[in-house]
């Protein structure tokens, strides 16, 4: 049994615990059963450099003059218990507007609020379908070119982006960026039930909390593991849940920094997680830039460390790589050792 599979099994046991933690109180949770779009619980807000405050889009009257011509369209998708002002919007939107991109922030807060996690997972497909509805309208009305469409989803929103790609089978999405895609209830083999490389022509993934809230398994054409995806600097004690929220959100921080970084986040290739942790792979010629300027031809898994404070990017500096797992997680060191011996 390899290390990656062993860790995935362990995380499978933890997923129900995480869901229970989200859903430990009574509330008015609800699950959608009507796939009609527009949907009163789903809204889209358009931002441009000339209108940084945003404008609510009406799916009945989308006007060409509201969009910047011949510019990329970035659609930002928040995660569980988020909204159009939280991750990844807070870290990315202002930087993308500096590039003079068209930015749409999706808001489905009413369908994904705490503690209604299992309902949020159920609703994610409906949200993805409404994204596909919007993008189809934009394409049909020649308000955007298909090659300029880029969905950026955080946590649960990464899977929402994947579902949007599934519903756009005739106009396959150009690009999905997944920021620490959510783990709970997504440890499934059926790729139709989660993000996977078939959801867009190019899917790049950033992993920052593989031991708790985010997936360890690769789910893109290229997957980047920052600080092994295990811990992130200055987030707090490893045994506290707030620390993992910090790890999880850090994916959006790193991606935001990448937009204007003069240094860049460069990872080097390792065939699997165990090879990296055991030191079998070293920085060689197979180096890839992570972030907004990632190469669409990139394939495989790439690892890099960050600085301990902003700016986090270290460029091509691999002089002090931390490959150690013991003491970096809430897991007992003996369990970690057994996992890497292939005994657990």
pLDDT score of 220 more than 90? yes
Burial zone of 334 (CB within 10 Å; 0-12 exposed, 13-18 middle, 19+ buried): exposed
91 or 34, which is more confident?
91
CA distance 184 to 134: 28
- Check whether 3 has a pLDDT greater than 70: no
Does 136 score more than 80 pLDDT? yes
Q: Which residue has the higher pLDDT, 135 or 15?
A: 135
- 341 pLDDT tier (thresholds 50, 70, 90): low
pLDDT band per the 50, 70, 90 thresholds, residue 66: confident
CA angle in degrees (0–180, nearest 5) for 72-289-169 = 45
Render pLDDT for 199-212 as a digit per residue (tens, 0 to 9): 999 999 999 999 99
- Report whether 256 contacts 97 (CB < 8 A): no
Residue 135 has pLDDT above 70, yes or no: yes
pLDDT tens digits, 6-16: 444 444 445 55
What's the pLDDT score for residue 31?
94
Among residues 57, 78, 263, 250, the alpha carbon closest in space to that of 144 is found at: 57
pLDDT, tens only, 151-160:
999 999 999 9
| C-alpha distances in Å from residue 300, one per residue of 180, 225, 306 | 16, 11, 20
291-302 mean pLDDT: 98
For the chain, percent of residues with pLDDT exceeding 90: 76
Q: What local confidence, expressed as pLDDT, does residue 9 receive?
A: 41
**Interval 30-40 mean pLDDT:** 92
Q: What's the mean per-residue pLDDT of the chain?
A: 90
Residue 170 is predicted with a pLDDT of 76
Mean pLDDT of 284-295: 95
pLDDT computed for residue 253 by the predictor: 98
What pLDDT score does 327 carry? 82
Of the listed ranges 144-148, 273-277, 301-305, 330-334, the one predicted with least confidence: 330-334
Domain count, the chain: 1
CATH number, domain of 259, equals 3.40.50.1820
3-class secondary structure per residue, the chain? CCHHHHHHHHHHHHHHHHHHHHCCCCCCCCCCCCCCCCCCCCEEEEEECCEEEEEECCCCCCCHHHCCCCCCEEEEECCCCCCCCCCCHHHHHHHHHHCCCEEEEEECHHHCCCCCHHHHHHHHHHHHHHHHHHHHHHHHCCCCCHHHEEEEEECHHHHHHHHHHHHCCCCCCCEEEEECCECCCCCCCCHHHCCCHHHCCEEEEEECCCCCCECCCCCCCEEEEEHHHCCCCCCCCCCCHHHHHHHHHHHHHHHHHHCCCCCCEEEEEECCHHHHHCCCCCCCCCEEEECCCCCCCCCEEEEECCCCCCCCCCECCCCCCCCCCCCCCCCCHHHHHHHHHCCC
The band of 4, judged by pLDDT with boundaries at 50, 70 and 90, is very low
What pLDDT was estimated at residue 326? 82
Q: Say what the pLDDT of residue 273 is.
A: 84
Which pLDDT does position 70 carry in this prediction?
84
Domain range for 156: 3-341
Among 49-63, 143-157, 220-234, 328-342, the minimum mean pLDDT is found in 328-342
pLDDT value for 338: 65
Model pTM score? 0.92
Closest listed residue to residue 51, CA positions, set 113, 94, 112: 94
């Amino acid at each position: 049994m390899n290390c990656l599979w062993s860790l995935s099994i362990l995380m499978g046991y933890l997923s129900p615990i995480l869901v229970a933690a989200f859903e430990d109180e009574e509330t008015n949770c609800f699950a959608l059963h009507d796939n009609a779009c527009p949907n009163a619980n789903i809204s889209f807000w358009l931002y441009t450099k000339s209108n940084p405050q945003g404008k609510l889009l009406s799916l009945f009257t989308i006007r060409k003059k509201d969009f910047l011509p011949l510019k990329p369209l970035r659609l930002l998708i928040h995660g569980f218990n988020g909204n159009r002002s939280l991750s990844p919007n807070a870290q990315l939107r202002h930087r993308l507007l500096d590039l003079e991109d068209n930015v749409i922030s999706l808001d489905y807060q009413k369908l994904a609020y705490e503690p209604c996690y299992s309902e949020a997972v159920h609703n994610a497909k409906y949200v993805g379908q409404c994204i596909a509805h919007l993008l189809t309208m934009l394409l049909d009305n020649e308000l955007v070119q298909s090659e300029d469409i880029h969905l950026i989803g955080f946590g649960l929103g990464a899977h929402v982006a994947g579902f949007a790609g599934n519903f756009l089978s005739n106009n396959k999405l150009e690009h999905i960026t997944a920021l620490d895609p959510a783990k709970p209830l997504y440890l499934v083999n059926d790729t139709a039930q989660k993000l996977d490389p078939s959801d867009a022509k190019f899917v790049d993934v950033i992993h920052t909390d593989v031991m708790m809230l985010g997936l360890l398994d690769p789910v893109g054409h290229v997957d980047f593991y920052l600080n092994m995806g295990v811990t992130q600097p200055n987030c707090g004690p490893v045994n506290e849940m707030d620390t993992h929220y910090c790890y999880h959100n850090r994916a959006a921080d790193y991606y935001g920094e990448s937009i204007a970084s003069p240094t860049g986040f460069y990872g080097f290739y390792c065939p699997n997680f165990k090879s990296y942790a055991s030191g079998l792979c070293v920085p060689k010629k197979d180096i890839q830039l992570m972030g907004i300027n990632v190469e669409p031809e990139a394939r495989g898994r790439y690892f890099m460390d960050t600085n301990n404070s902003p700016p986090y990017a270290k460029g091509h500096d691999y002089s002090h790589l931390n490959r150690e797992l013991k003491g970096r997680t809430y897991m007992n060191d003996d369990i970690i050792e057994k996992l890497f011996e292939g005994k657990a």
